[in-house]
Amino acid sequence: MDQLDVLLWLALQEDLGHADVTSVATIPADLTGRARVHGREPFVLSGSHAFQRVFQILDDTTRVQCCFEDGQAVAAHAPVFELEGKVRTLLAGERTALNLLQRLCGVATLTRKMVEALSATPCRLLDTRKTTPLWRALEKQAVRHGGGYNHRFNLADGVLIKDNHIAAAGSIKEAVQRAKTQAPHTLRIEVEVDTLEQLDEALHAAVDVILLDNFSVEMLRRAVTRTRGRALLEASGGVTLESVHAIAQTGVDFISCGALTHSARAIDIGLELLG
């Protein structure tokens, strides 16, 4: 019993309603069978544990074997899972399991592509909090499976001072000062800046990390030069498969990209019962 199981259980209830009326009518309760899952395009696997749990929550005697490890590249049509159990169970879990798997493999696959685009640099690719509500843990894991890194998980495990915090505090200096006093000493202080002037202010305030929002590549280069290693630098905004390499070459430490989780296309994956 963990939090994931609770969410999967609620998701199953959403899809099952009070009963799978079609299967109850047409398939004997005890009929067992086997099924196979494969993609109709190549992809990076993620979500295999959740996929397995869906069926085991329905019936813990269901056998679900995964032929790959999360993070591995899978060829089109290669068998990814082999399942064995009651046919009613296989059909009852199919949609929920695939809905999750297709999305998570989509996130891992897009991340992998971006990571490969910047592979010659030491720059790390980060996710954001722009995730699907209630599935953040799985989506952030998919980013790691793709080769990316995680930004803070939620509002509690990182201090990120943005324009509204600065406005409320009166200045970057004052906002940083408050955060240093109030926030746990286990958290770094990160500030988001829009201009080089703000960058200077943040450096003066001796913050740990600076988020350069919507800086052009040229501006990023100047920011790196100006910072001289006094803070870690994170670039965000306008990050695409096309632009990511140039951004990384500016020398920033991190690039964060919301599209990894909010815009990854679902991978086309299907489950097939075997004769």
Looking only at residues 65 through 84 of this chain, which bind a second copy when binding is defined by CB under 8 A?
none
Our CB check for a second copy shows the closer of 83 and 218 to be 83
Q: Is 206 in the site for a second copy (CB under 8 A)?
A: no
User: 44: which DSSP letter?
Assistant: E
Q: Is 14 in the site for a second copy (CB under 8 A)?
A: yes
DSSP 110-167: HHHHHHHHTTTSSPEEE--S---TT-HHHHHHHHHHHT-B---SSTTS-EEE-HHHHH
For residue 206, the minimal CB distance to a second copy (Å) is: 13
Our CB check for a second copy shows the closer of 116 and 268 to be 268
Which amino acid, one-letter code, is at 254?
F
Q: Is 240 in the site for a second copy (CB under 8 A)?
A: no
3-28: b or e for each residue (b if 16 or more CB lie within 10 Å)? eeeebbeebbeeeeeeebeebeeebe
Q: Is 183 in the site for a second copy (CB under 8 A)?
A: yes
For residue 160, the minimal CB distance to a second copy (Å) is: 6
Single out the segment in contact with a second copy by CB under 8 A; choices: 74-82, 112-120, 123-131, 242-250. Answer: 123-131
**130 in active site:** yes
**213 in active site:** yes
- Find the binder of a second copy among 11, 74, 125, 247 (CB under 8 A): 11
Q: How far is CA 94 from CA 14, 44, 90, 218, in A?
A: 13, 20, 6, 49
Q: Is 7 in the site for a second copy (CB under 8 A)?
A: yes
